[in-house]
Amino acid sequence: MDLPTLWFAAIAVLWIGYFVLEGFDFGVGILLPFLGKTNTDRRVMINAIGPVWDGNEVWVLTAGGAMFAAFPAWYASLFSGFYLPLFLVLLALIVRGVAFEYRGKVDSVQWRARWDQAIFWGSAIPALLWGVAFANIVRGVPMDADHIVTANLLDLLNPYALLGGLTTLSLFTLHGAMFLSLKTGGEVRLQARRAVPMIALVAVPAAAGFLLWTQVSYGTTWTLPLVAIAALTLVAAVALALRGREGWSFTATATTIAVATVVLFGSLFPNVLPSTTNPAYSLTVENAASADYTLSVMTWVAVIFLPVVLGYQSWSYWVFRKRITREHIEPTLVPAGRPGDA
């Protein structure tokens, strides 16, 4: 395997890590107004991801940095052509992070309600737009000989991309429900388990349709069994959740997300951004890559520091592995004359 191909695979792994880990963060945020019937329950949900959500976001920063260093032409064309959706993703992530920090700063029901809405939208918008963006990357975009993307917003909102957005939105929501049933106790856990069948009514057909469309239109021979694996693990995840096998059901949704991401990158290769204007204008692993010296230095840096990062993140998950329940939440004191919901 040459260095450009190696780094294409490495970037795929980084996006897999981001979607699997940040996926359940997004799911918890999306479910916050639906499962959190009281302020205490909403605090249980937020505390379940509190120690890890910011660490999970490091994966997307690393993936973006790796794309910039390893494939600068891909990074330039992608971020200029997808400027609006990526700007909305960035804005949503900023608002979401601020909401986590500021939600408890003022002892007011209205204050917390506004930040809860910010958490919901800050989770739902990226969950939707990441699917739209990656579907368009696989499908290809109008791009000229200078690798300038000429697509407008309507070009990006095509049926295949919208189905991709619905797939990531529903799949991350299901992943979040699995995580809550595994990580919390009491009423939140029960609500999360009850939500699984309803979410699955959207997630399973959406994911199956999107993966089948991807395979038929853009897939290769070796991605076909991966599509089948992703579909089977998704169905297994729902079945395991209904039987109360929470650890295995969460593992199954994580596997579905990981394998589906491999299908997308496998369908894309050897392109990194296909051109629908003329296939000759497409960016490929070879013509978009940095020099071998740059890729060699990046490889050594990754070999040295990646185990440290993985070790630290694994340790943090182990430290905060216990379930969160209402008993772990201190009561919220509401000023006199202002009814609370804690």
User: pLDDT in tens for each of the 342 residues of the chain?
Assistant: 699 999 999 999 999 999 999 999 999 999 999 998 889 999 999 999 988 888 888 899 999 999 999 999 999 999 888 988 999 999 999 999 999 999 988 888 899 999 999 999 999 999 999 999 999 999 999 999 988 988 888 888 999 999 999 999 999 999 999 999 999 988 999 999 999 999 999 999 999 999 999 999 999 999 999 999 999 999 999 999 999 899 999 999 999 999 999 999 999 999 999 999 999 999 999 999 999 999 999 999 999 988 988 898 888 888 888 888 888 776 654 444 444 444
Tokens of 117: 């809405």
pLDDT computed for residue 150 by the predictor? 87
The answer to the question of residue 34 being in a domain is: yes
Q: Cα(187)–Cα(177) distance, rounded to whole angstroms?
A: 13
Q: SS3 of 324, please?
A: strand
pLDDT computed for residue 331 by the predictor? 64
Q: What is the pTM of this model?
A: 0.92
What is each CA distance from 187 to 68, 78, 132, 173, 242, in whole angstroms? 45, 44, 34, 18, 16
Residue 131 is part of which domain span?
3-328
The answer to the question of residue 311 being in a domain is: yes
The answer to the question of residue 333 being in a domain is: no
The answer to the question of residue 32 being in a domain is: yes
Domains of the chain: total: 1
The answer to the question of residue 339 being in a domain is: no
The answer to the question of residue 316 being in a domain is: yes
The answer to the question of residue 254 being in a domain is: yes
Considering all CA atoms of the chain, what is the largest pairwise distance in Å, rounded to the nearest integer?
Answer: 70
The answer to the question of residue 334 being in a domain is: no
Tokens of 46: 């937020």
Closest by Cα among 173, 165, 163, 153 to 85: 153
